[in-house]
């Protein structure tokens, strides 16, 4: 850092000094001026295309796009002159001219970046009334809806799909006024190798991309007196949800979430952190078995369904490396419909399991083959993202922020810190290591923190020694990073025993079912890290920090599964995978 | 086994030779697509998929390019390609009426091909002979000072 040259300039007559290479946007931010942006995503979509961030630079002939324009010595910038505001207003008005301005009935109303800009800039919605495109909604998938009538062609979704996830199933098709975001040959999203990660939804500034809303299915089940409706909350949901209610990002609202779910009419509220612990028992045992028997290594984690679908579609040769363990959500559903139904004398046909998830891919996972432990009903009956749960709570008039803290129901109500950290990248790995290393060492582990696999780096490596053997591990998040790891394994450059992959960058804290990320969250904060902090804090203060010490998990084995990887555990808690064609017909 | 999706065995062989020669070359996508269009006359799904797989680029990227540039076609073009100039000079001299007459006569819309595969109509940019406006081209031949009434006569040159 010592050799960084500082550049002196003036922004709105105020002197600013920033390192060389800083953009005007960032320089302005450093003195408390937020220039609005729309298409800009730091490091991901720096295309300077939408022209919303334009500013006046003295001596420059045209207004410049501040998101990509670097500062220069003695530069004089004005961020809010009449000329600038007029240009921004015209730009947004042109967007509105071909936009389905149905704000009153739009899922993103009050949470839409276009709406906010139009309001802030005092736009006239009808300034440029004229031809309007009329696109068919894509409702083909069980996890997302694309409504191009609300698309402003910012390409944030395209950038995240191709650069962050390296899946690249969406792009700009056609030209000029007919330009639209879509898939090859105008196919539906469910007819191309989309991995259902939902990252596109969380970066969409408007209502063009939304999750497939399953609120009505859940409400119908709640209203059905025959049904016992059971919610299970994933680790990262209790963090992300706070943002939907105006609380600071990174607030843990676990207790309020439990109370809200009860008020919504769920008969039981369980914690999927507990079945994350169960996952560790099964997955850790599977890893030890693979090591002992020279099975397929490295073993890959299987809790992130987008990743599983990615391997099945793009790297089928690695299917044998994926742990056969179901995800914590599927283990939850499977346990409810077998063990819990038997224990309580309930007909599993009358149990309705709802996953409360930071994820859209879980909506897809629910419908996979081999996701029915009792062979009759699906493990999970519905999956709601954090955004859907927030809408349900608001719709029911629940004063979420002032709710008292509720406690989870028994038996799946106690979880270890290891189960909680599943919500952040590296968390599954750390949780597994706590159990695996202790098992191999045959004595209590002294140091529970495996800091090498923590943090927001895309690829993290570590080697631990246990029982006289070295275990080489890797944790990757974001599919582009996972792909790099796969290629390194393939070429023999990297050798691992165990690899954790989270589909979304940063893990479930940044999942496709979490609150959407506006320009501020995308560009001026590390939202994944912010949301991960309370998870590690929760782990640190939990009295139980190892999955195998969770009394709930012990009871599950004593009463039902006998021991990890037992025949019954295999039947209920494990699944199968199969290669997928990228396109159905070819 | 011959793969009908990739045309005749000769066409498929040519296409594979194209992608093999371009693999690893920066900016290979456009030349590959242009050559493929030359081989097939258009870029069907299987052809774009093969280019995508061989060059290691997403199919959507190929498709996006194919739908951006009017030089690429997604459906087979007719034996005779009619281009009606929509440049400024031709337009003010009535090329819209010429285009309409063509559509009526051939019972297809602009961009489409007649069911017998004989004609495709395209609206083009300026052909560079504004003095003859309005103009249309059939294959390599240019017709000047065209009127709606002349359309049947022009088309008859290419029938039978």
For the segment B10-37, what is each residue's pLDDT rounded down to a tens digit?
Answer: 999 999 999 999 999 999 999 999 999 9
How do residues A75-118 score in pLDDT, each as one tens digit? 999 999 999 999 999 999 999 999 998 999 999 999 999 999 99
* CB–CB contact B60 A586 (8 Å): no
Six token digits for residue A148: 């191009």
Helix H or strand E segment including A350: none
Residue A573 exposure: Cα atoms within 13 Å on the Cβ side: 31
Q: Locate A242 and state its tokens.
A: 């706070």
Report the distance separating Cα A490 and Cα A257, nearest Å.
Answer: 43
On chain B, the residues whose CB falls within 8 A of the CB of A174 are 67-68
CA atoms within 13 A on the CB side of A116: 15
At CB < 8 Å, which residues of chain A contact B?
Answer: 162, 168-175, 183-185, 192, 583, 586
CA A342 to chain centre: 34
DSSP letters of B77-140?
PPSEEEEEE-SHHHHHTTHHHHHHHHHHHHT--TT-B-TTSSEEEEEES--S-GGG-S-EEETT
Closest chain A residue by Cα to residue B62: A184
CB atoms within 10 A of CB A251: 18
In a shared domain, residues B93 and B53: no
Would an 8 Å CB–CB cutoff place B148 in contact with chain A? no
pLDDT of residue B3: 44
Q: Which of B46, B48, B63 sits opposite A173 (nearest CB)?
A: B63
Cβ-contact A117, A101 below 8 angstroms: no
Tell the burial category of B146 from Cβ atoms under 10 Å away from its Cβ (0-12, 13-18, 19+): buried
The answer to whether the beta carbons of residues B134 and B94 sit under 8 Å apart is: yes
How deeply is A404 buried, as exposed, middle or buried, from its count of CB atoms within 10 A (0-12, 13-18, 19+)?
A: exposed
What DSSP element (H or E) covers A581?
none
Interface contact A172-B5, CB threshold 8 A: no
Residue B48: its chain A contacts at CB < 8 A? 184-185
- Start-to-end C-alpha separation, chain B: 36
Mean pLDDT confidence for B109-126: 92
Compute how many other C-beta atoms are within 10 angstroms of the C-beta atom of residue A537: 14
* Domains (range + CATH), chain A: 6-80 (3.10.20.740), 94-211 (3.30.70.20), 216-573 (3.40.50.1780)
Q: What is the DSSP-derived secondary structure letter of residue A456?
A: S
Question: Distance between CA A383 and CA A145 in Å, rounded?
Answer: 15
E strand or H helix at A296: none
CA distance A140 to A454: 37
Residues 6+ apart with CB under 8 A from A229: A218, A221, A222, A265, A266, A267, A268, A352, A354
Reading the block at residue A453, the tokens are 């696999």
Judge whether residue B61 has pLDDT over 60. yes
Kindly tell me if the per-residue pLDDT of A493 is higher than 60: yes
Q: Which chain B residue shows the shortest CA-CA distance from A187?
A: B60
Q: Is A352 helix (H, G, I), strand (E, B) or coil?
A: strand
Which residue in the set A169, A174, A586 is minimally distant from B46, CB to CB?
Answer: A586
B interface mutation test: which of A160, A171, A314 has the most B CBs within 10 A?
A: A171
Residues B53, B28 share a domain: yes
Q: Quick: pLDDT tens for A334-367.
A: 999 999 999 999 999 999 999 999 999 999 999 9
Tell me the nearest-neighbour CA distance from B61 into chain A, angstroms: 7
The Cα B147–Cα B154 span in angstroms is: 10
Helices (H) then strands (E): counts for chain A: 21, 17
What's the CA gap between A531 and B106, in Å, rounded?
63
- Name the closest residue on chain B to residue A173, using Cα atoms: B64
Band of the pLDDT at B70, cuts 50, 70, 90? Answer: confident
Structure tokens at A539: 């782990």
Residues B147 and B98 in one domain: yes
Q: Which two tokens stand for residue A140?
A: 């083909």
Which pLDDT tens digit goes with each residue over A191-225? Answer: 999 999 999 999 999 999 999 999 999 999 999 99
Number of domains forming the structure of chain B: 2
| Residues B43 and B12 occupy one common structural domain | yes
CB under 8 A, 24+ apart: contacts of B6-10:
B6/B46, B6/B47, B6/B50, B7/B39, B7/B40, B7/B47
As a whole number of angstroms, the distance between CA A472 and CA A461 comes to: 8
Task: Read off φ and ψ for residue B78, nearest 5 degrees.
Answer: -70, 170
A179 to chain B, closest Cα gap in Å: 8
User: At residue A539, does pLDDT exceed 70?
Assistant: yes
Average pLDDT (A479-491) is 98
Structural domain span for residue B24 = 4-68
Same domain as B40, residue B100: no
Choose from B47, B58, B68 for mutation: most chain A CBs within 10 A.
Answer: B58
Task: Give the end of a domain, one of B68, B102, B121.
Answer: B68
Same domain, B84 and B144: yes
Q: How many residues does chain A have?
A: 586
Residue B75: inside a domain:
no
C-alpha A125/C-alpha A94 separation (Å) is 9
* Residue A8 binned pLDDT confidence (cut-offs 50, 70, 90): very high
Same domain, residue pair B62 and B113: no
CATH of the domain at B112: 3.40.30.10
B85, with CB counted inside 10 A (0-12, 13-18, 19+), is buried
Confidence of residue A584 (pLDDT cuts 50, 70, 90): confident
pLDDT of residue B134 exceeding 60, the answer is yes
Percentage of residues in chain A having pLDDT higher than 70: 99
Q: Residue A1: pLDDT above 60? A: no
Q: Are A150 and A207 in contact (CB under 8 A)?
A: yes
A586 and B64 in contact by Cβ < 8 A? Answer: no
In a domain, B119, yes or no: yes
pLDDT at B2: 38
What are the φ/ψ torsions at residue A475 (nearest 5 degrees)? -125, 125
Judge if B141 and B101 occupy the same domain. yes
Q: Which of B45, B68, B91 is the last residue of a domain?
A: B68
Question: CB neighbours of A232 closer than 8 A, spacing ≥ 6?
Answer: A270, A271, A272, A275, A329, A332, A333, A336, A353, A354, A355, A356, A412
Quick check: A325 pLDDT over 70?
Answer: yes
Residue B60 has its nearest CB partner, among A168, A174, A175, at A168
Mean pLDDT of the region B2-16: 84
Q: Could you tell me the pTM of the whole model?
A: 0.93
Question: What are the CA-CA distances from residue A3 to residues A6, A15, A16, A19, B152 (Å)?
Answer: 9, 22, 19, 10, 76
3-state secondary structure A492-538: CCCCCCEEEEECCCCCHHHCCCCCCCCHHHHHCCCHHHHHHHHHHHH
Q: What angle do CA A486, A487, A491 make, to 5 degrees?
A: 120
Domain contains B73:
no
**Cα R_g (chain B), whole angstroms:** 18
Question: Phi and psi for B38 in degrees, rounded to 5?
Answer: -65, -35
DSSP state of A177: G
Query: Which neighbouring-strand residues pair with A14?
Result: A11
> Where among B26, B45, B68 does a domain terminate?
B68
ipTM above 0.85, yes or no: yes
Backbone angles phi, psi at A65, to 5 degrees: -80, 110
pLDDT of residue A15: 97
Tokens of A177: 């006024």
Strand locations in A128-199 (E): 144-146, 171-173, 180-182
Same domain, B52 and B93: no
Token pair 């742990």 is found at A323
The rounded mean pLDDT for chain A is: 97
In a domain, B74, yes or no: no
């Amino acid at each position: 850092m010592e050799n960084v040259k500082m550049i002196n300039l003036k922004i709105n007559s105020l002197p600013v000094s920033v390192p060389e290479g800083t953009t005007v946007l960032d320089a302005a931010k450093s003195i408390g001026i937020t220039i609005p942006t729309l298409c800009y995503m730091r490091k991901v979509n720096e295309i300077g295309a939408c022209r919303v961030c334009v500013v006046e630079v003295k001596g420059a002939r045209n207004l410049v796009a501040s998101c990509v324009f670097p500062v220069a010595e003695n530069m004089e910038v004005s961020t809010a002159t009449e000329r600038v505001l007029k240009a921004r207003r015209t730009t947004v008005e042109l967007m509105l001219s071909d936009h389905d301005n149905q704000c009153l009935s739009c899922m993103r109303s009050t949470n839409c970046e276009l709406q906010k800009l139009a309001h802030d800039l005092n736009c006239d919605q009808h300034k440029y009334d004229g031809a309007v495109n009329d696109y068919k909604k894509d409702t083909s998938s069980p996890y997302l809806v694309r409504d191009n009538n609300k698309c402003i062609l910012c390409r944030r979704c395209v950038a995240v799909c191709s650069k962050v996830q390296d899946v690249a199933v969406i792009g700009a098709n056609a030209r000029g006024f007919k330009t639209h975001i879509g898939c090859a040959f105008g196919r539906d999203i469910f007819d191309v190798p989309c991995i259902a990660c939902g990252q596109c939804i969380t970066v969409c500034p408007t209502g063009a991309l939304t999750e497939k809303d399953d609120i009505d299915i859940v409400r119908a089940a709640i209203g059905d007196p025959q049904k016992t409706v059971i919610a299970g909350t994933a680790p990262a949901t209790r963090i992300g949800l706070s943002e939907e209610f105006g609380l600071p990002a990174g607030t843990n609202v676990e207790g309020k979430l439990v109370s809200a779910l009860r008020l919504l009419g769920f008969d039981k509220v369980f914690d999927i952190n507990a079945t994350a612990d169960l996952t560790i028992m099964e997955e850790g045992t599977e890893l030890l078995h693979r090591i002992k028997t020279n099975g397929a290594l490295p073993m890959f984690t299987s809790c992130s369904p987008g990743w599983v679908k990615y391997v099945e579609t793009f790297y089928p040769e690695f299917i044998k490396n994926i742990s056969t363990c179901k995800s914590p959500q599927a283990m939850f559903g499977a346990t409810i419909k077998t063990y819990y139904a038997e224990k309580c004398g309930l007909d599993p046909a009358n149990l309705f399991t709802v996953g409360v998830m930071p994820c859209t891919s879980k909506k897809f996972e629910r419908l996979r083959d081999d996701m029915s432990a009792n062979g009759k009903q699906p493990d999970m009956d519905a999956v709601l993202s954090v955004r859907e749960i927030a809408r349900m709570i608001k719709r029911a008039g629940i004063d979420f922020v002032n709710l008292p803290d509720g406690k989870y129901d028994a038996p799946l109500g106690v979880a270890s810190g290891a189960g909680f950290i599943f919500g952040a990248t590296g968390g599954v790995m750390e949780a597994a290591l706590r159990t695996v290393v202790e098992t191999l060492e045959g004595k209590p582990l002294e140091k529970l923190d495996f800091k090498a696999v923590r943090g927001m780096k895309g690829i993290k490596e570590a080697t631990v020694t246990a029982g006289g053997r070295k275990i080489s591990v890797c944790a990757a998040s974001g599919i582009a990073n996972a792909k790099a790891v796969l290629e390194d394994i393939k070429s023999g450059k990297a050798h691992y025993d165990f690899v954790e992959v989270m589909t979304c960058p940063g893990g479930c804290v940044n999942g496709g079912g979490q609150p959407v990320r506006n320009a501020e969250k995308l560009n001026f904060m590390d939202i994944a890290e912010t949301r991960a902090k309370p998870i590690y804090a929760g782990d640190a203060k939990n009295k139980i920090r190892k999955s195998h010490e969770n009394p709930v998990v012990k009871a599950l084995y004593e009463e039902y599964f006998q021991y990890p990887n037992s025949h019954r555990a295999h039947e209920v808690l494990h699944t199968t995978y199969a290669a997928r064609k990228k396109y159905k017909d070819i | 086994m011959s793969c009908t999706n990739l045309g005749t065995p000769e066409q498929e062989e040519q296409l594979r030779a194209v992608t093999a020669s371009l693999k690893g070359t920066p900016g290979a996508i456009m030349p590959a697509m242009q050559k493929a269009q030359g081989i097939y006359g258009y870029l069907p799904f299987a052809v774009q998929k093969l280019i995508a797989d061989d060059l290691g680029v997403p199919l959507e990227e190929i498709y996006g390019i194919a739908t951006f540039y009017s030089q690429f076609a997604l459906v087979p073009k007719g034996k005779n390609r009619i281009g009606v100039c929509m440049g400024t000079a031709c337009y003010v001299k009535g090329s819209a009426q010429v285009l309409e007459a063509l559509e009526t006569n051939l019972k297809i819309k602009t961009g489409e091909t007649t069911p017998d595969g004989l004609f495709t109509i395209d609206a083009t940019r300026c052909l560079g002979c504004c003095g003859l406006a309005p103009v249309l081209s059939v294959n390599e031949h240019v017709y000047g000072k065209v009127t709606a009434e002349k359309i049947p006569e022009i088309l008859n040159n290419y029938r039978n």
